[in-house]
Amino acid sequence: MTEDTGKDLQRAHVYVYGNVQGVFFRESARKKAKEFGLAGWIENLPDGRVEAVFEGSPDDVRRMTQWCEEGPPHATVEDVEVREEDAGGDLRGFEVR
């Protein structure tokens, strides 16, 4: 991620629905986020969804949210909900929770 003050950053809060747990979704997303230079986190929710926050350049955040629409090979993504949030530039690295 760039050492920016948040001015040129975008943050997306994402919820992924479908068969997205137990299929290496989080680890695959971590690798992809690292490839795109994004900061944030991802975790499984008790209701079967995956929740994530991605922060970085607008193009890279868009690419990451598009990746979430497919996910890794064994995932079956039914829907992706994306909410834009204020990017604070305070996230460092990418964490699997």
Catalytic residue among 11, 26, 30, 49: 26
Interior angle at CA 66, CA 74 and CA 92, nearest 5 = 95
Beta carbons of 8 and 57 less than 8 angstroms apart: yes
Q: How far apart are CA 59 and CA 70, in angstroms?
A: 18
What's the domain range around 45?
10-87
Q: Is residue 5, in this structure, part of any structural domain at all?
A: no
Query: In the prediction, which pLDDT does 89 show?
Result: 85
Query: In the prediction, which pLDDT does 7 show?
Result: 62
Q: Is residue 72, in this structure, part of any structural domain at all?
A: yes
Catalytic residue status for 26:
yes
Token pair for 42: 């991802």
Contacts of 77 (CB under 8 A, 6+ apart): 16, 17, 18, 20, 68, 69, 70, 71
- Give per-residue pLDDT as tens, 34-54: 999 999 999 999 999 999 999
Catalytic residue among 11, 19, 30, 44: 44
Catalytic residue status for 62:
no
Specify the amino acid at residue 28.
S
Confidence band of 1 (pLDDT split at 50, 70, 90): very low
**Which CATH number do you get for residue 56?**
3.30.70.100
